[in-house]
Chain A
Amino acid sequence: MLTVRQLSFNYPNSRPVLKSIDLDFETGNIYGLFGKNGEGKSTLMKIMTGLLFPKSGTSTLHGDNVKKRNAESLQHVFFVPEDFELPSLSIATFEKVQSPFYPKFSKEKFYELIEEFKLYPTNIISKLSFGQKKKVLMAFGLSTNTKVLLLDEPTNGLDIPSKSQFRKVMASAVDEGKCIVISTHQVRDLHSLINHVVILDNASVIFDQPLETVSEGLWFGKASNPDESSILYSESSFGGKTILARNDMEETEVDLELLFNGVLSQPNKINAILKDFHHGPRV
């Protein structure tokens, strides 16, 4: 659905932020896009939504180059950036002005979410707190019913009950044939929702796997007497959490933080193990 091919980007007079990126995002999935600060996650999202143009390569939506900013394609995409400016309008006016751009917009859903987030249609957006503004934008994004939804650090600024509401809404959104891409550092807020992990490092994709494959191939946890040779990655030498090749062991829950650290330090070892599984990695 959303396809990125040989995509490269750099800001003026700086080193490349993205180098020859190849990625495929399909419907029915929630992708987690991870990377250290400044590794190009937000840049990639901006390119995928036509806000920035790649230096080379393409990002296409249903075969249509996003760079052309065709209204017919862009009406299927919504992006909630990490930083944003919203006009000083009431929530209701904002909805009236913005919703016509999205043919599948659900007014009912929007006001339902606004109410759930404890906001009122008469609230003037510019007078709200950062977290509340974020809720307005998120409620709007979720109500657009676009096929592709990109969220950059969606839980930043949300209070604890809203994080849970957010997860519920996301859980119900994905089976409607949507493709959701979430970039985040708050792994704990979202780990139960993500079913495919993409990790960027040094301007490249160093990991791109469905969690199903990860849990088939790797074992996460504390191993008391592990066999040194089977350790792929270990947080500390004594009693720390480790990643092992799973082999015949029981399936464990994927520890995303551990996976992230493991992949950053041992990308080749970990990718080599997962390469043998049938889901077909692309890295």
Chain B
Amino acid sequence: MDFDNGKPIYLQIVDFFYENILMKRWMEDERIPSVREVAMMVEVNPNTAIRAFNHLQDLEVIYNKRGIGYFVSEDGYTKVLDIKRREFMEQMLPDVFKKMTLLNISMDDLKNTYNQQENEKK
């Protein structure tokens, strides 16, 4: 079976955290918004926001200082980079490869398009 499905909201909030950490908007050892602030920001039930916080805490991307709030872990950036790289390699690339086979696009075609884009940037 192949599925095209909606990602649970709590995981979308997790992605929002990842983006902020990767873009260095949230720095390591810096305090991040509270559960309530995040719930208001993204307009969700605080219970959903808590799930995202718990998930990130389990992955040791963030940590909780009792009574103060949540902080990005000391090695939070590296952790997120690892997670997102793995996600790219294990989830996104297989889809790309599948499409490449379907559309008969070779690795060379891919390389050329990549180089072309890099040149245009310059």
Known: A172-B36, A223-B3, A225-B1. A192 touches B8 (CB 8 A): no
Q: Does A69 contact B (CB under 8 A)?
A: no
The number of chain A residues touching the other chain, given as a range, is: 20 to 34
**B-facing residues in A147-174 (Cβ within 8 Å):** 164, 167-168, 171-172, 174
Give B47's nearest chain A residue, CB to CB.
A195
Quick check: B45 and A171 within 8 Å, CB to CB?
yes
Tell which of A193, A222, A255 touches B3, judged by Cβ atoms closer than 8 Å. Answer: A222
Complex Cα distance, B1 from A229, in Å, reads 13
Tell me which residues across on chain A come within 8 A of B9, comparing CB atoms: 192, 253
Q: Does B95 contact A (CB under 8 A)?
A: no
Q: Does B14 contact A (CB under 8 A)?
A: no
The number of chain B residues touching the other chain, given as a range, is: 20 to 34
Quick check: A192 and B43 within 8 Å, CB to CB?
yes
Tell me which residues across on chain A come within 8 A of B8, comparing CB atoms: 215, 251-253
Quick check: A171 and B1 within 8 Å, CB to CB?
no
Complex Cα distance, B13 from A192, in Å, reads 12
Q: Does B67 contact A (CB under 8 A)?
A: no
Give A172's nearest chain B residue, CB to CB.
B40
**B-facing residues in A178-219 (Cβ within 8 Å):** 192-195, 215, 219
Q: Does A226 contact B (CB under 8 A)?
A: yes
Known: A192-B48, A253-B9. A171 touches B4 (CB 8 A): no
Complex Cα distance, B42 from A193, in Å, reads 10
Give A215's nearest chain B residue, CB to CB.
B8
Known: A172-B39, A253-B9. A224 touches B45 (CB 8 A): no
Least CB distance from A54 to B in Å reads 30
Least CB distance from B42 to A in Å reads 8
Tell me which residues across on chain B come within 8 A of A167, comparing CB atoms: 43
Give B6's nearest chain A residue, CB to CB.
A253
Quick check: A168 and B45 within 8 Å, CB to CB?
no
Tell me which residues across on chain B come within 8 A of A175, comparing CB atoms: 35-36, 39, 46
Quick check: A252 and B5 within 8 Å, CB to CB?
yes
Complex Cα distance, B48 from A251, in Å, reads 14
Tell which of A171, A220, A225, A255 touches B44, judged by Cβ atoms closer than 8 Å. Answer: A171
Complex Cα distance, B2 from A227, in Å, reads 11
Quick check: A224 and B43 within 8 Å, CB to CB?
no
Complex Cα distance, B108 from A80, in Å, reads 64
Tell me which residues across on chain A come within 8 A of B111, comparing CB atoms: none
Give B5's nearest chain A residue, CB to CB.
A221
Quick check: B1 and A226 within 8 Å, CB to CB?
yes
Quick check: A252 and B6 within 8 Å, CB to CB?
yes
Tell me which residues across on chain B come within 8 A of A174, comparing CB atoms: 45-47
Tell which of A164, A194, A215, A220 touches B45, judged by Cβ atoms closer than 8 Å. Answer: A194
Tell which of A164, A225, A251, A255 touches B2, judged by Cβ atoms closer than 8 Å. Answer: A225
Show 12 residue pairs from A and B whose CB-CB distance is below 8 angstroms, ordered by the A residue.
A30-B45, A164-B43, A175-B35, A175-B36, A192-B45, A192-B48, A193-B45, A224-B2, A224-B4, A250-B5, A252-B6, A252-B8
- Nearest 10 CB-CB pairs, A to B? A221-B5, A167-B43, A253-B6, A171-B39, A252-B5, A192-B44, A224-B2, A175-B46, A168-B40, A195-B45
